[in-house]
Chains A and B, each alone.
Chain A
Amino acid sequence: MKFGVVVFPGSNCEADCYYVVDKVLREDVDYVWHRETDVSSYDCLILPGGFSYGDYLRCGAIARFSPVMEAVADFASRGGLVIGICNGFQILLEAGLLPGAMLRNTCLRFICRFVHLRVENADTPWTNRASLGQVLRIPIAHNEGNYVVDPETYRRLEEEGRIILRYCDPEGEVTQEANPNGAMGNIAGICNEGFNVFGLMPHPERASEEILGSTDGLVIWESVMAYNREKG
């Protein structure tokens, strides 16, 4: 399976993603520069975290107009697998590949810590190796993760099972207290209608080895690899 890690000026998690794919998953991986216009040779594109274009104006607002984003949109429209992590998620929102937007965390602080996430749908390319209701321990690191969307779209996301991860407590209860940033419905990760585009605020690449304190992020990588294998 071939991964591409899209690098924008200001990305800073691209090396972590590359490392996990290369050294932990032992799959093919390339960096894809933001000026690239052809991404057709990849099976899965990773939009990593960071501060693309300094996060000026709004997180992801300028990155979405990078030449590569047109190629990413085209790739996604053909069913290509795209995962946006943290700033990558924000870029997918700005680009309209996922619905909604990000506000500042209600606490007005940058939060960098482990959180618990409940798997809300285990029948997706990204979670097929997890079980429904499974609790994952994965870190977040962001200032704008307060997800918001209009009520109508929220209802659709729920009905269509496109809310993939919710912030929860260690027991898997989705509570106000377990919501680190004020996100609507404790949303930590969502998919598009085709489930081939996934955006999430937590960093699975930072929870993919024992030495980092958690390997719960691996389930996402293993799921997408299994999906790709089965798809043939």
Chain B
Amino acid sequence: MEKKELISEGKSKRIYATDQPGQIILEFKDEASAFDGKKKGIIPGKGRVNARMSDIVFRQLEKRGIRTHHLRLVSESETLAWRLDMIPIEVAVRNYAAGSLAERLGYPERTELKSPLVEFYYKNDRLGDPLLTREHIRELGLAKDEQLDEMASTALRVNEILRPFFEARGLILADFKLEFGMREGKMLLGDEFSPDVCRLWDAETLEIMDKDRFRRDLGGVEEAYAEVLRRIMEEETGMTVYVYVTPKKGVLDPAGQAALGALKSLGFDEVGDVRIGKYIVLKVQGVEAERATERVREMCERLLANPVIEDFRVEIQE
């Protein structure tokens, strides 16, 4: 699969063609914007977090029977997906009142709603992405009634899957928005799922862990994104790597010699030699086993072992 020309560039992603018909590459940018592009900034590492999080969340949804455009992660900050004919409607699902909904209903921020609520917004920067009723949508001809029904029911199903998913990771999914598109007559979930398009609060401290940190200048944006990803990846691809560092052959090992002497004096005459080294256990997340081995070897060469005097061996347990 080869990356081809740029098809379009949005506020947070660039879309590229590939040499595979119907498949595109989504490149997630570190650039952030809010309030319909009126506020702009950079969140270092955001592209990486959003690509990985979308990969994990979409795979989770696919596993539970939701059809999405997602195919796979192709680099740190790029995913491969089916090209969709996008429906210009954003579908929001809300579990708590926050942002514009709190204002509209006159609820205090963070009021839990009686039941999850679905809203449609017009994806149109010029108009400021306004809230739409079904009648508006019919009038504008943006989608058919059956499509709207499908979008709403899929969105609620996504909520049923993701609310407990995040809860298990110490995060409250307050709300999120989805975008859908058509491919070969079928509706697929498109776009991304990341802290850019949802509200996540820490279940214990209620700390804001999403783009609201950027919107409201709360600071620690980069850290919050990284923390969300860390919690999601923990169970996703965690593996344990064991590193054994031992004195190189021929290098004198004073501690080993001392232990050898002590063993001999205790009558363990069968002991011919003792080498004393280090045993290091690493928890590694978010990489394939092969890549993890490669990375840990690099860690050994650069820091964990001194190649002048030490050898090392790496074992991986998935």
Contact = CB atoms under 8 A, between A and B. Distances in A.
A108 B256 CA distance: 10
A87 B306 CA distance: 16
Listed residue (B257, B258, B304, B306) with the most chain A CB atoms within 10 angstroms of its CB: B306
Given A146-B254, A182-B254, 16 more contacts: A58-B306, A61-B303, A65-B303, A94-B306, A99-B308, A100-B308, A101-B306, A103-B251, A103-B252, A103-B253, A104-B255, A146-B252, A148-B252, A148-B308, A150-B308, A182-B252
Interface string B298-313: 0000011010110000
A24 interface: no
Interface in B258-272: 258
Contacts of B306: 58, 61, 94, 101
B304 A57 contact: yes
Nearest to A96: B308
Interface in B225-252: 247, 251-252
A103 B251 CA distance: 9
B252 A106 contact: yes
What are the 8 tightest A-B residue pairs by CB atom distance, in nearest-first order? A101-B308, A101-B309, A104-B254, A106-B254, A101-B306, A108-B254, A108-B258, A58-B306
B298 to A, nearest CB: 14
A149 B254 contact: no
Contacts of A149: 308
Interface of B: 247, 251-255, 257-258, 303-304, 306, 308-309
18 contacts: A61-B303, A62-B303, A93-B308, A101-B306, A101-B308, A103-B251, A103-B252, A104-B255, A105-B254, A106-B252, A106-B254, A106-B257, A108-B254, A108-B258, A146-B254, A148-B252, A182-B252, A182-B254
A22 B225 CA distance: 49
A62 B252 CA distance: 23
A182 B253 CA distance: 11
Contacts of B254: 103-108, 146, 182
A94 B255 CA distance: 21
Nearest to A149: B308
Nearest to B257: A106
A108 B308 contact: no
A107 B308 CA distance: 21
B281 to A, nearest CB: 14
Interface string A46-67: 0000000000011001100100
Nearest to A93: B308
A108 B255 CA distance: 7
Interface in A89-143: 93-94, 99-101, 103-108
A164 B309 CA distance: 22
A96 B252 CA distance: 21
A107 B257 CA distance: 10
Contacts of A101: 306, 308-309
Nearest to B303: A61
Contacts of B257: 106
Nearest to B278: A57
Nearest to B252: A103
Contacts of B252: 103, 106, 146, 148, 182
Nearest to B308: A101
Contact of A103 (B303, B304, B309): B309
Given A104-B254, A108-B255, A182-B254, A148 B303 contact: no
Contacts of B303: 57, 61-62, 65
B21 to A, nearest CB: 48
Contacts of A150: 308
A21 to B, nearest CB: 31
A204 B308 CA distance: 27
A148 B254 CA distance: 13
A149 B248 CA distance: 12
B224 to A, nearest CB: 25
Nearest to A184: B252
A182 B254 CA distance: 9
A216 to B, nearest CB: 29
Contacts of A148: 251-252, 308-309
Contacts of B253: 103
Interface string A158-174: 00000000000000000
A105 B304 CA distance: 21
A100 B257 CA distance: 21
Nearest to A100: B308
Nearest to B258: A108
A148 B304 CA distance: 18
A55 to B, nearest CB: 13
A186 B177 CA distance: 71
A57 B251 CA distance: 18
Nearest to A181: B254
